[in-house]
Amino acid sequence: MKTKKLKISRIFIYVILIGGVLIAVFPFLWMILTSLKTNAETMTIPPTILPKKIRFDGYVTVLTKLPFLKIYANTIISSVVTVIAQLVFCAMAGYAYARIDFPFKNILFTATLAVLMVPGTFFILPQYRIINKLGLLNTIYALFLPNLFSAMGTFLLRQFFMSLPQELEDAAYIDGCNRGKAFIKIMLPLVKPGLVSLGILTFRFAWNDLMWPMIVNTSTDKMTLSASLSFMQGQYVTDFPSIMAGALMAAVPMIVLFAIFQKQFIEGVAHTGIKG
Amino acid sequence: MIAPVTLGLIIFYFYPFFRVIIDSFHNIGAFDKDMGFVGLQNYQTMVKDKEMWRALGNTFKYVAIIVPLSLLFALLIAVLLNAKVKALSFFRVVYFLPAITMSVAVSMVWRWIYNGDFGILNGLMTAIGLEPRLWLSDKATALICISTVSIWTNVGYYMIILLAGIQGISKGYYEAAEIDGATGLQKFVKITLPLLTPTIFYVVIMLIISTFQIFSEIYMMIDVKAPAIKFTQSVVMHFYRSAFSYSKKGYASAIAVLLFVIIMLLTVFQMKMQKKWVNYD
Amino acid sequence: MKKKLLATILCAAMTATMLSGCGEAKTEPAPAPAQTETKTEEAAAPEEAPAETAETTVEGEIHYAYWQDALTPYLEESAKIFEETYPGTKIVLEPTAWGEYWTKLETAASGGSVADVFQLNGPNIGKYASAGVVVPIDEYIASSDIDLSNYPAALNDLYTVEGKQYGIAMDYDTIGLWYNKELFDAKGIAYPNENWTWDDLVAAAKAITDPATGTYGITADYADQGGFYNTVPLFGGYIISEDKKTSGFSLDETKAGIQCWVDLMKEGYSPSQASLTENPNYVQFMSGKVGMVMAGDWFATTFASDEAFKDKCDVTYIPMINGKRTSVIHGKANCISAATQYPEAAWKWVEFLAGDKANELLGKSGAAIPSHKDYSALYFEQFPQYNMAIFADEAQNSSYPYPTSKTAAEWGDIMWNELISAYSLEVSVSDACDSIASQMNDLLATE
């Protein structure tokens, strides 16, 4: 009796899970199917499910009308630079706030925490003007410059450093390490989960950000993926296959990256919850 | 060691912080021209601006829909996945897919699915004998449809965090409960939920902060000048339109200040509430 | 001949050295006489010397911003020829989607990163000219071969702000009534023709509308240029008074010109405003669910490029009202940024686009009607299947100038904001118009 009940609840679990999978996957499927249709096929009522003949017109349009490789490169460069800079700068600052005493430490740390509380949109208008003053509008630098510095990252890594026992560091000093060496050799490897988490959070943000790149850069060859998708949607209103082809091409790199670093991704995300 | 971050924060964050507050008392018009100090005029405009109040109302609606439902579904799936299911990593990966897909691309697909004339959703509705709808133009459905997209992307991401939280709970508690003859539901309510509160708290905070600033989904699914914008735009969207579509940057700064104050209050409120229900041992 | 050429080259070279020498890039247009003659020489003997001449005066990377994607092939070809003519130059094309164009342009202009040459339209020229973002080009025109009488007078006026001309129209457009022949055949109704009145249009819209099949007679959503800008003058109203001091929205005649559209909406002969916001009128028209669309000539290329649809439609005049016929005329113009580092090259590009070769290319590309009167016909020839002659006839014989003023971009937003509720049948046309009139008059008072 008990086993039967157990079995029913098992089946129930799988039904829900598989239903969820369908909901999660369907939009991707629909994106792929649409991208392979002709324009006329997408504009029928009721909608056609499968394309009569597989066509790559949408992809051709996107690739000829937009400098897609350049756009990929812009997005990757700006995301990667942002991640690396944040990891380096925030690890340094986070360590300093956690372990070193220096003048005005409390005031500076409180100020950093205050930035954490302010929504990112708040800063956009003056940031735009600063980039303008620097003469960097419509350049790749504009895409990432303000994002290199993160109050959130500093705070997150400080928490990680705080949780490490002081004895580890002391042992390093006894072994003749100086502070810099202890930081790089002993402390940094120990906060690796923190670095991975911060890296993923930052990457996801930089990859997805729409408003900032849209404001600072205007040329098609200086755009990020998200900004150029918004451009495409505006430009090819009627051309659903091209729009879907563009969306798919923008989505693929991250999915591939995820497929390769699946474990690290999931662990990194999981860690944000444990420490934050 | 703090020099790079501190310098960067001063230039790109501290200075802008005060700049925005100053700008909110100025009239800044087309081509970023500062037409001088106008006192509280921008704030007075804001009080009278119906769109602003509607945007604020919409934002709270987004929070009220997206936060609990994302949490609920994420928790449900996390718990189910924790029940020793087969192909765990398959499910984890598939559920995570929406979370790693560019949100702009996601919004484009959903906009296409919701399309009032050629969308597959209306195709389904007609096939089962229901009336097709203009999902994204209809006052009754547009905001819910946008929320759905946001929930769709949130669930997988927060599910991973919650699942890690659940797996972090010591097995000892469950074994003890099983000896006492507790059912699955009892175990969930008595053990999992209370011990998971720190993670849930974190998830709720993250969800509220991100939902409060919802922008790209709206921007990609509703045209800046569509009538539907009035009943779907968030405060951030209204900020964007004021600053960039209507080039009223002084007024937009005032909106930014309001946004800041609200998020500030919310955070303080949550910190206070946290003591009541979050369980740290 | 040769001597004169040498003199001009020297002269031009000297100016160039002087210019670069003092480091002041933003000098007034270079000495006129030398320039003109160089130009004449070029025209006379294109093979011989232009490259040399060009090198000394015209150089720089010119960014060119525009919104209409259909223009890209024509612009690419023009850029290629231009770069060959002036080897020191490079044209960088920067297309932006219509929905984002004005936002981006203004953001870029505020930051000084704006393109060197960009397209402006009627509602925006006043705003950009009075803010000094674009420069007047009267002196350039005077010292060039350009004969302004080759371009529609209404468009020269449109781009003249406070007596100074800021741009030369690159194309013009008028509005026609496009109709789906299949839907007319299916109902056994005669196609729209030049003798049609508004009542005929309403009757046909009624006949075609069929809720059972989801077919509609016409699209009657909010449209200024493709909609009430044409009907308002026919009813005897106006958008803005001739002295640009008062709004015409409080007039009953103006209201009637808008009411006629809202009535089509009320009767259910048109998809709802909401529906037409999700899928714009021409998309619904092309999907075969709408009988008629009042829209500009520029849709010809969109319709003709769709294999399945291209032979199903045709176009005719806007129906007459009160025995009169009209179509508002508009055109985009190329304007030069005040912030450009290369004013000479920028002007040369504007001049080139206004010239014979570019107009010929534009006409043959089928993307828009070339503004130069000698080349308009080339455009119409691209679409033999459509009755394109009507657009030229409207432009010559019954065009109505595009209403604008310095704050046109702002009152355009007001118009949209108020009327969209009227088209959505939420408020009455009269109330919406009264509200526009008072807000618009306040704005006009600030000009």
What is the token pair recorded at A248? 């798919």
- Looking at every residue in chain C, the average pLDDT score rounds to 87
- Answer yes or no: are the C-beta atoms of A78 and A140 closer than 8 Å: yes
Give the mean pLDDT of chain B.
91
The pairing of strands C290-296 and C216-218 is parallel
Q: Determine, yes or no, domain membership for C11.
A: no
Q: Read off the pLDDT of each residue in A201-226 and give the average, rounded to a whole number.
A: 91
Instruction: Give the span between the Cα atoms of B79 and B84, in whole angstroms.
Output: 10
For every residue of C67-108, which 3-state class applies, written as one string? CCHHHHHHHHHHHHHHHHHCCCEEEEEEECCHHHHHHHHHHH
Tokens encoding C312: 């199903």
Name the helix (H) or strand (E) containing A197: helix A192-208
Indicate yes or no: CB of A89 within 8 angstroms of CB of B5.
yes
Same domain, C273 and C247: yes
Q: Tokens for C331, please give them.
A: 């055109």
| Model pLDDT, residue B278 | 77
Q: Are residues B212 and B150 in contact, defined by beta-carbon separation less than 8 angstroms? A: no
Task: Provide φ and ψ at C291, rounded to 5°.
Answer: -80, -40
What kind and span of H or E run contains A42? helix A39-42
Q: Which residues, 6 or more positions from B90, have their beta carbon under 8 angstroms from its beta carbon?
A: none
pLDDT value at position B202? 87
Which residue's entry shows tokens 């069929």?
C210
Number of domains in chain B: 1
Q: How far is C170 from chain B (nearest CA, A)?
A: 25
- Which of B102, B123, B156 faces A208 most closely, judged by CB atoms? B102
Q: Which chains touch C (3 or more CB pairs under 8 A)?
A: A, B
Give C49 to chain B, closest Cα distance, Å: 42
Q: Nearest by CB to A126, from B20, B100, B257: name it.
A: B20
The arrangement of strands across the sheet holding C168-169 comes to C89-95, C60-66, C117-120, C333-336, C168-169
Contact indicator for C362, C74 with CB cutoff of 8 Å: yes
- Please check whether residue C346 lies inside any domain of the structure: yes
Segment B163-168 long-range contacts (CB within 8 Å, at least 24 positions apart): B163/A270, B163/B78, B163/B81, B163/B82, B163/B92, B164/A270, B164/A271, B164/A273, B164/A274, B164/B199, B165/A273, B165/A274, B165/B78, B165/B196, B165/B198, B165/B199, B165/B200, B166/B78, B166/B79, B166/B82, B166/B192, B166/B196, B167/B82, B168/A274
Show residues of chain C in contact with A43, CB under 8 Å: 283, 286-287
Q: Residue C287: which of B30, B117, B226 has the nearest Cβ? A: B117
Closest CA to C296 of C184, C125, C178: C178
Distance CA A207, CA A75 (A): 7
Within a domain: C34: no
Q: What residues form DSSP beta bridges with C292?
A: C179, C218
Rounded Cα distance between A10 and A31, Å, is 32
- Retrieve residue C256's tokens: 């009637």
| Residue that wins the pLDDT comparison between B94 and A268 | B94
Q: How many CB pairs under 8 A join A and B?
A: 259
- Residues β-bridged to residue C168: C334
pLDDT at B254: 96
Residue B84: inside a domain: yes
State whether residue C213 sits within 8 Å of chain B by CB. no
Average pLDDT of chain A is 88
Q: Is the pLDDT of residue A9 over 90?
A: no
The reply to whether B199 falls in a domain is: yes
Scanning every residue of chain A, which has its alpha carbon at the shortest distance from the alpha carbon of B125? A46
- Candidates A41, A125, A139, A218, partner chain C, best to mutate (most C CBs within 10 A): A218
Q: Answer yes or no: do B118 and A123 touch at CB < 8 A.
A: no
Which residue is listed with tokens 């009035």? B230
Strands (E), C365-415: 369-370, 399-401
CB contact under 8 A, B105 and A251: yes
Q: Touching check for C20 and chain B: CB below 8 Å?
A: no
Same domain flag for C88 and C184: no
C140/C251 same-domain check: no
Q: Are residues C200 and C347 in the same domain?
A: no
C279-310 pLDDT, tens digit per residue, is 999 999 999 999 999 999 999 988 998 888 99
pLDDT single digits (tens) A159-170: 889 888 888 888
Residue where the block lists tokens 């009988």: C291
Neighbours of chain A (3+ CB pairs under 8 A): B, C
What confidence category does residue C48 fall into, taking pLDDT thresholds of 50, 70 and 90? Answer: very low
ipTM of this predicted complex?
Answer: 0.90
Structurally, chain C folds into a number of domains equal to 2
B vs C, Cβ pairs < 8 A, gives 56
Helix (H) or strand (E) holding C120: strand C117-120
* CB contacts, 8 Å: C416 with chain B: 225
CA–CA gap between residue C272 and residue B191 (Å, rounded) = 54
User: What's the whole-number mean pLDDT along residues A264-275?
Assistant: 74
- Lowest average pLDDT, out of B26-35, C141-150, C255-264, goes to B26-35
Expressed as residue numbers, the domain containing C348 is 58-171+331-374
Cβ–Cβ < 8 Å for C31, C140: no
Q: What is the pLDDT of residues A246-258, one digit of tens each?
A: 999 999 888 888 8
Residue C264: both structure tokens together:
């089509």
DSSP state of C190: P
- Residue B279 falls inside a structural domain: no
> With 80 as the cut, is the pLDDT of residue C24 above it?
no
Instruction: Please give the Cα distance from C171 to A228 (Å, whole number).
Output: 27
Query: Which residue has better confidence, B192 or C200?
Result: C200
Q: Give me the phi and psi of C213, to 5 degrees please.
A: -100, 0
Measured distance CA(C321)–CA(C88) in Å, rounded: 55
Please state, in angstroms and rounded to a whole number, the distance separating the CA atoms of residues C170 and C358. 9
CATH assignment at residue C166: 3.40.190.10
> Can you name the residues that pair with B226 across neighbouring β-strands?
none
Give pLDDT tens digits for B92-137.
889 999 998 999 999 999 999 999 989 999 999 999 999 999 999 9
Q: Do the domain assignments include residue C47?
A: no
pLDDT at B101: 92
- Average pLDDT for C350-363: 95
Question: What chain B residue is nearest to C110 in terms of C-alpha separation?
Answer: B31
Please choose, from the candidates A144, A152, A142, the residue with its C-alpha nearest in 3D space to the C-alpha of residue A216: A142
At B272 the pLDDT is 84
To probe the interface with A, which of C66, C113, C299, C310 has the most A CB atoms within 10 Å? C113
| Structural domain includes residue B8 | no
CATH number, domain at B168? 1.10.3720.10
Q: What are phi and psi of C316, to 5 degrees?
A: -145, -175
pLDDT at residue C18 greater than cutoff 70: no
Q: Specify the DSSP class assigned to residue C321.
A: B
Of C374, C404, C437, which closes a domain? C374
Structure tokens at B49: 């601006």
Confidence of residue A4 (pLDDT cuts 50, 70, 90): low
Look at A235 and C306 and tell me if their CB atoms are within 8 Å.
Answer: no
Cβ pair B117, A237 in contact under 8 A: no
The pLDDT assigned to C41 comes to 38
Residue range C404-447, pLDDT digits in tens: 999 998 999 999 999 999 999 999 999 999 999 999 999 999 88
Q: Check CB contact of C92 with chain A, cutoff 8 Å.
A: yes
pLDDT digits (tens, 9 = 90+) for B243-279: 998 889 999 999 999 999 998 888 888 888 877 777 7
DSSP at C239? S
H helices present in chain B, as ranges? 3-9, 15-23, 41-48, 50-82, 88-100, 103-114, 120-127, 142-167, 171-179, 184-187, 193-212, 216-221, 235-240, 249-277
Q: Could you give the CA distance from residue C408 to residue C413 in angstroms, rounded to a whole number?
A: 9
Q: Are residues C400 and C279 in the same domain?
A: yes
Global model pTM greater than 0.90: no
3-state helix, strand, coil in chain C (%, to 5): 50, 15, 35
Backbone phi, then psi, for C401, in 5-degree steps? -65, 145
Specify if C26 maps to a domain: no
* Residue C48, token pair as written in the block: 């011989």
Q: Do C246 and C99 reside in the same domain of the chain? A: no
- In this complex, which of B31, B134, B244 lies closest to C275 when CB atoms are compared? B134
Which domain range does residue B130 map to? 38-255
Report pLDDT for C141: 94
Is the same domain home to C336 and C305? Answer: no
Same domain, C187 and C125: no
Q: What's the token pair of residue A155?
A: 């705070």
Provide the chain B residues 190-249 that lie in CB contact (below 8 A) with chain C.
223-228, 244-247
- Is C313 part of any domain? yes
Q: Is residue C211 within 8 angstroms of chain A, CB to CB?
A: no
Q: What does the pLDDT read at residue C11?
A: 42
Q: Name the closest residue on chain C to residue B115, using Cα atoms.
A: C278
Q: How far apart are CA B199 and CA B197, in angstroms?
A: 5
pLDDT band at residue C30 using 50, 70 and 90 as cut-offs = very low
* Three-class SS state of A152: helix
Cβ-in-10-Å burial (0-12, 13-18, 19+) of B114 comes to buried
Q: How many CB atoms lie within 10 A of CB B121?
A: 18
Measured CA to CA, the distance from residue A130 to residue A115 in angstroms comes to 18
User: Are C305 and C237 found together in one domain?
Assistant: yes
pLDDT at residue B188 in the model: 86
- Contact call for B136 and C278, based on CB within 8 A: yes
State the average pLDDT over residues B19-35: 90
